[in-house]
Amino acid sequence: MTLAVVPPPVALATDEWTARASAHRERVDRWVAPHLERRRQGRSHPVLDFLFTYYSEPPGRLRRWHPGAGVVLMGAAARERLAWPRYAEVDGVDADGRPVRGVGLDLPAFLDRRGEGLRVIADLLRATAGRPAQFGCFGLHEWAMVYRPEPGEVRHAVPLRLGQDGTDAVVEAARLQCTHVDAYRFFSRRSAPLNALRPTRGTQRDLEQPGCLHAGMDLFKWAYKLSPAVPGELLADCLDLAGDIRELDMRASPYDLGELGYPPVAIETAEGKAEYVTAQRAFAARGAVLRQRLLDECDRLLATAGAPSP
């Protein structure tokens, strides 16, 4: 297979890339540092722990800034990265077009190890981006997870804002239409049949839609799964979006989180539904931009591999 012609990696001087690496660490520590402190103290957080328990990227790796593909890092400090996965000595050019040699993404090794996953992620992102956003779910997936629970189906050790009977009544009066497999799979046994759809891993590509809060949060997952081939700034943008969405997700949930500083979005009322949809639309707009940036990175990597985009 003939590889696509791509420009050589562009060199970044030590002072430039180390400043970006420091800024990245400071930025992600908005989420990472409090989590590590809670973990040291043996405390849990029903809202924010989700970023590190449901999602699996370790805090230490999140703090690592990566330049992404098409960049070569210069200077002695860059050589430390030769001990990191998917880094190697690579040839590039400086700002004047002169050849240089530094440290950057080991693209052949990345494509050999992650090429199939790259194609799957690109395919899902493209299918999601091409589908109209839906804004009629009102975050009821969290309510469905605690609907008429059976033993062992307790989600969080947090009181329900409306009590169990009130929570059940909201679910029974609503139309459940969750499209996201990783939300639906946590529905209680009694609420799962009430959903209009039966999302599975096999139907994820056909059902995922850009209005879904979980699809927006999952951009963080796709960004770290593509690491170190995507820029750290893009990963941090996706992490920020996931954290912000998670707060809305839980504010609209049936839990009473007032003592933790999260006022409820009372989706059982018309006013709460309107508040939820307004925020949901704003998150969908942010997600659309990040989804396209991730797709652009995927397409560039696939073109480098000589493979057609899905």
- d(CA 108, CA 207) in angstroms, rounded, equals 33
The pair of three-digit structure tokens given for residue 240, joined into one six-digit string: 């920020």
Q: Which residues have CB under 8 Å from 212's CB, separation 6+?
A: 134, 137, 179, 180, 183
The pair of three-digit structure tokens given for residue 73, joined into one six-digit string: 């890092």
Identify the band that residue 295 occupies on the pLDDT scale cut at 50, 70 and 90: very high
- d(CA 125, CA 222) in angstroms, rounded, equals 9
Residue 233 is assigned to a structural domain of this protein: yes
Q: What is the 3-state secondary structure (H, E, C) of 141-200?
A: HHHHCCCCCCCCCCCCCCCECCHHHHHHHHHHHCCCCCCCHHHHCCCCCCCHHHCCCCCC
- d(CA 38, CA 45) in angstroms, rounded, equals 8
Residue 134 is assigned to a structural domain of this protein: yes
Q: Taking the mean position of all CA atoms in its chain, how far away is CA 62?
A: 12
Residue 80 is assigned to a structural domain of this protein: yes
Average the pLDDT over 212-241 and give the result: 98
Residue 4 is assigned to a structural domain of this protein: no
* Unique residue bearing structure tokens 């309107």: 274
Q: Name residue 243's amino acid.
A: G
How many structural domains comprise the chain? 1
The model's pLDDT over 105-142, given as tens digits with 9 standing for 90+, comes to: 999 999 999 999 999 999 999 999 999 999 999 999 99
Residue span of the structural domain in which 144 resides: 10-304
Residue 309 is assigned to a structural domain of this protein: no
Q: What is the pTM of this model?
A: 0.94
Q: What are phi and psi of 50, to 5 degrees?
A: -50, -35
**Averaged pLDDT of the chain:** 94
Average the pLDDT over 85-114 and give the result: 94
Whether residue 250 is predicted with pLDDT greater than 60 in this model: the reply is yes
The pairing of strands 10-12 and 71-73 is: parallel
Residue 47 is assigned to a structural domain of this protein: yes
Residue 122 is assigned to a structural domain of this protein: yes
* Unique residue bearing structure tokens 């992102």: 125
Average the pLDDT over 161-166 and give the result: 97
